[in-house]
Structures are given as structure tokens and as C-alpha cells.
Structure 1
Amino acid sequence: MRIGGNDLTALEPDEVLKHIAVVFQDVYLFDDTIRANIAIARPDATDTEIEEAARAAGIHDFVQALPDGYATCVGEIGSALSGGERQRISIARAFLKDTPIVLLDEPTAALDSTSERVVQAAIDRLVDGKTVVVVAHRLPTVVGADQILVVEDGRVTQCGTHTELLAEPDGRYARMWAAQAAARHWQLPVTAARTEGTHA
């Protein structure tokens, strides 16, 4: 495997990590300010650069509305924020780091549908012009990928674009796509509410 034409095994780990930004499913924030949590990606960043990254991640307006703005403490593990807000701070870190490679590890899996749409929009801005590696179980996340690898029991069992993989109806990808599409339309049956009469 190569990065920028260089054999990965010949590079020091720190050198490799300098070129990769990661957005995880479970975001860990430090019990510090929002500004400090974003700046972890690049400690020498200016306030303007931090705010620009927050704008790109779709979190700036929310932060500005807080009484202490960027000086707001997020609490232990970011407990003062919602999952979507924590995730957008993580994306702001990635914008601030501005690396050519972005690794997304199930970035929307733990979010509700409203937060997922907001975070996905921020991710779409983040990955523009980058090399992106996505780990996902929600298949709509990877529909636009140039190459999709299906991994089963630690082995790659299928490889191709979304269209190519759907053309293999017996393949794991096509079966997962059909199952997830069916689940999106699944609803609990609604039973008529019972009303109890009153007696005089």
C-alpha cells in the first residue's frame, strides 16, 4: 500500500498520521472548551481558523448562540452536548487539520435521522477533493464511492461500485441493500385506541 507514491511500510507512523484525519462513530471530547476541543487537531491554529473550521462543519452558529461561545466547556466526554453536536465538533477538527486523506468510521451510525442529515452535509463538504476511506454498515453512506469492498469474516468477498454490486443479486451487498431499503419503510402497526365508557 502506498500513500502519495510512498510505500506505507517505509514511513514512520507519525508521518502517516499527519496526512490522515479521522472521524469516529464515538466522539471523545475533553472536559475543556469547544475552542480547545477543535484546536486539538492543530494546536497552533488561530481563533479565525478554528471558527472557519466550525463554520464548515455546521456548528459555528450553534456555538455562537451559547452564552460563552467558543469558551463553553463541554463537560466530561462532551456530556453537555448532543451526539450530533459532538460529531460536528469532530468534523471541525478534521476541517482544521485539512489532510489529503479522510477516514470515516461509521460517522452517522449513532445519530437520529435529523442529526444524521446535518452531519452528512458537513461530511460531504469535508471530503470534497480528498481521498476518503469509509467504514459503514448503513449502505447509503457509501453509494457514491468509487470502490466498495464488502468484508465478511475478515475477507473481501465483493468489490465494485454501487451499481456493479447491485447487479449481483445473490451477492451480500445486494441482499443488504434490499434488507435496509425494506427496513426504511417498516412501520409499527397502529391499533385503534380503545375508549372506555363512563357509567352514570
Structure 2
Amino acid sequence: MNTIKKELRKSDILSLMDTLSKKNYNPIYAENLEEAKEIILNLIPLHSSIALGGSVTINQLDIIDTFRGDEYHLFDRYNQPDWPSTLQCMREGLLADFFLTSTNAISKNGELIQTDSGGNRVASLLWGPKNVIVVCGINKLVDTWQEGMNRIKEFVGPLNSKRINHKTPCNISGVCENCQTKQRICNFTSVIKSGKRVGNPITIIIINEEVGY
């Protein structure tokens, strides 16, 4: 049964990939996390500079330690001594050769929907790095961009707030309360309707598994 379900999901992914191609994205299919990791390593030449968006999906790829090696230059937001250094690292990452991240949702109409706390992912998707690679699990595919927004509000926001322990109402209640607290996690939102950008088109790797939040 799982094989049948995976084949049906693959059909949905291939249909979405056709839509994404028509909207100037570069979509790539991956069967699983391991295949996605291999695709990314093939896309990023050795000695490239790489920046990261905060992402459970990217952590699950088990690829960051590879980028920490001598063959790449990683703007390592996760390995800084303090918050000001982390901010500076993310600012410098806007000039990276590659920006690797995930998204909160992709609609059937080929729209990427994402909300940030600090905004570096939203900013980097739109402008800065020469190349953008977005990695997305099947669980993030939605019918409309409005449904993507609801997914962020009802599911992704509260989970991420708890994950990074922001002192927000949704961390406790598990429900978005549209707070205005200092550590509010949903501050910057973008809906991207075309993969065309200054630099190369956005590459989207869609994994036929549930990955990330």
C-alpha cells in the first residue's frame, strides 16, 4: 500500500513540477532525503560559498557538516559565538554563491509561501545570493497560497516557536494568537509567484516523503 501511495504522490509532484517549469522555476524530483542530498551536492560546485535559511528540512538532510569542510565556504549561522555575530553572518550570506533553504508551502499554482521571524530567508529568496535551492517535502504541498498561509498560522508557526523556544503565546497554546510580543516568530511573509530572479532561477527539489514541518 505504501508503494501505491508513493506512486500516486509522485504523480502529483510531477504535475506540480510541470507548473513550476512554466513559471520559470527549475524543479527537480527526489525519491527521498538521501537522493535530495546527492542532487544538492551535484548542483553546488566545490569551493562555492553557501548560506542557509533556518530549516528543519535542511538539518534532516545531514548535509551541513559536509559544507563545513575545507572544500566549501559556509556562512555558518549555527556556529557563531553570539547573536550579533549570527546576524552578521546572515548579512554576509546575502552575497553567497548558493542559498539553501526550505519553504513553508508550495501551492498547486506554483507559489512559494514562507514566513520568517528575522527575515533572512525571505530576503535571500528574493534577492542577493546568485543561486537559490529550495528543498521541500510532500507534506508542504497545498492547493492554494491561502491554504499555505493557514498552514503557517495553524501549524508551522506554533511548532517553530516551540522548537527555538521563543517566548510567544503560541509556544504555550499551540495556536496562533496574532501576538505582538518581542519574540514574535511571524514577522516577514512572502508569496513568490515566479522562479525568475536576478541571478539564476530558483531551483526546487521536491522530496516524495514527509520532511520538516
TM-score normalised to structure 1 length: 0.29
* Structure with the larger strand share: 2
